[in-house]
Amino acid sequence: MNIRWLSFFSRLNIKQVKNLFIISVFLFNTTLFSQIKFDFININRVLMWTYNSGSGSQHPYTGGNGFYWPYDSSAGIYTTSIFADGLHIGGIINGDTVVKANMYKDIGFQPGNILPNGEPANPADSIFKIWKIRKNWKNLPPCPFRDRLEYDYNNWPIQIGAPWIDVNNDGIYTQGVDSVKFYGDETLFFVYNDFDTTTYLPNWKRRSIGLEIKTIIYGYDSTNFLGDVVFKKYQIINKGNYTINDAIISYWSDDDLGFAGDDYIGGDKNLCLGYTWNSSDSDYVYGNPAPSVGHFVLQSPIISGLPQDSARFNDGWKKGYKNIPISSYNPCFKNNSLLTRDPSNTIQAYNIMNGFKNFGHSYMDPYTDQPTLFPLCGDPESGIGWYEGDGWPAPAPSPFDRRLYINFGRFTIAPQDTQEFVVAIGMARGSSAKNSVTKLKQLTFNVHRFYGNDFITSVDNESLTDLPYKFQLFNNYPNPFNPTTVISWQLPIHSHVTLKIYDILGREVATLVDEVKEAGVHHYPFSIIHFTLSTGVYFYELKAGDFRAVKKMLFIK
């Protein structure tokens, strides 16, 4: 063992060494930097495996669950909640129904991009590995893992579409001038296509479309709600010659929340959320209280809109377009032949992605006796609507293994069209299994706000108002003032806060706060009674950790 290995392992305890050996020893072999076909993201309380062909959350060595939360190597906590998940793309091409899927095995997908001549690149080419960068890699101690991060940073594959920042705005990537683009604090990148015809399940249509999918997986090194979330951003390019009509993009997941045999499932249309929760307060693996795991879409495909419309696209906004709304949510039941089950062929998969059961039948809401595309979207804790357990009139399915689909369609993907699809996966634990669903919805709400989805603020549910999602200093009120005004700010995490007043020449007038404050919204009534102030403009400055903000106020005698 060389000196770098000794230096690295000397910093780890026994549990950490055991965990690293079981899960990721291959990552620390410097000879494998160009051969990584599967990898994990672990920048916060989540550890999630992924493959360079698109499949997610399945462990590459055990074949079992590969999404861990809360992940704590130092405490030896490796509890899992997802068996497999991934992207589905379906539609009609010249009358044929085609579905490509990341499921338990990839259906039609393989690593690599599509070459200018329309042919797929060699999937075994080392450039099509999973690339990983971290913002703080230079601060890590010398070790093979740091070497790997340095290698990926210095060899970031711009040539196959890895994200970068054009610092000098010349449209050409120049190393040392331009920079790689980080999403979050840890970023994974890989690209895959739909040209594989060997991995299909029986009875699935074997047809390539010409889809290239650039994938960015990222997370934040955060102690607030972002520490329980990972993000997946897909850029889907139709590089083939076929128009995909009635296209649907779906996110599918087979959640196993600890012990899979006692799971329930649910959704929330307003939050674009599908989730799994426990049928009792105690789970065999997670204990009591059992948490909840959710998948929520933050950015959907775009279609043409009105001139005043704007759609989220390419890390900004695209005028004249709009993001399509969620079209259906579909739960799957492994142990009930009368409800949606795993699809056995292409037609069944496309039916499910349209919000129907396997053979095209609608779900019927037991309370309204009307067909619905959003079954089980009631709320367990408030007891409102249709949900599993006591929210499903008898005879209700017993708890067991579940899957879910979150669907967006129908629209057209023409040749050379590019679509984007962003999903977040998160977990939350409350005081009971039902309360964990509420906490998960709060988490989802906050992530939507963090991502900038203004539409989500229209959700009429005060229970979703949870901790702030970012640092912010608000305008004082009233302004102008005499003799008192209120200064307010919010903190997503507990932080040491200083709040000071300065005059127009920059001289400090007063220190109002200099202490640690809890996460939340805070108010400070500032009165001039104890100060000698002249009429005029003053500034108040808030510092909290690395955050700093200054605002102006006017005092009038």
Q: What is the pLDDT of residues 481-504, one digit of tens each?
A: 888 888 988 887 667 899 999 999
Confidence of residue 476 (pLDDT cuts 50, 70, 90): confident
Q: What is the pLDDT of residue 469?
A: 61
Q: Which residues of 54-72 are buried (b: 16+ CB within 10 A; e: fewer)?
A: bbbbbbbeeeebbbbbbbe
CA distance 203 to 373: 26
The whole-number average pLDDT for the span 338-361 is: 95
Q: Are 274 and 85 in contact (CB under 8 A)?
A: no
**HEC per residue, 386-405:** CCCHHHCCCCCCCCCCEEEE
Task: Sketch out the chain's domains with CATH numbers.
Answer: 3-457 (no CATH), 472-555 (2.60.40.1930)
Give the Cα separation of 544 and 531 in Å (integer): 25
Instruction: Determine the pLDDT at residue 471.
Output: 83
Query: Residue 493 has which token pair?
Result: 């995490």
- Overall average pLDDT of the 221-229 stretch: 90
Give the pLDDT confidence of 258-274 residue by residue, as tens digits: 999 999 999 999 899 99
10 pLDDT band, cuts 50/70/90, is very low
Phi, psi (degrees; rounded to nearest 5) at 283: -105, 145
CA dist list (Å): 169 to 172, 176, 183, 381, 500: 8, 14, 20, 52, 39
Structure-model confidence comparison of residues 170 and 456, the more confident one: 170
What's the average model confidence in pLDDT over 540-553?
A: 91
Say yes or no to pLDDT of 458 above 60: no
pTM of the entire predicted model: 0.79
Q: How far apart are CA 538 and CA 510, in angstroms?
A: 11
H-state helical runs in 133-202: 144-154
**Residue 269 · residue 113 · CB < 8 Å:** no
- Please name every residue paired with 216 in a beta bridge, in sequence order, or none if there are none: 189, 233
Amino acid letter, residue 171: G
Amino acid at 111: P
Cα gap 536→544, rounded to integer Å: 27
205, amino acid identity: K
> Cα(164)–Cα(172) distance, rounded to whole angstroms?
10
Which tokens in the block code for residue 216?
């960015």
Average pLDDT over residues 131-156: 94
- In which band, very low, low, confident or very high, does the pLDDT at 468 lie, cut at 50, 70 and 90? low
Q: What is the mean pLDDT of the chain?
A: 88
**Would you place residue 354 in the very low, low, confident or very high pLDDT band (cuts 50, 70, 90)?**
very high
Predicted confidence at residue 502, as pLDDT, reads: 95
Tell me which range, 174-178, 334-338, 369-373, is most confidently predicted by mean pLDDT: 369-373
Q: How far apart are CA 275 and CA 523, in angstroms?
A: 36
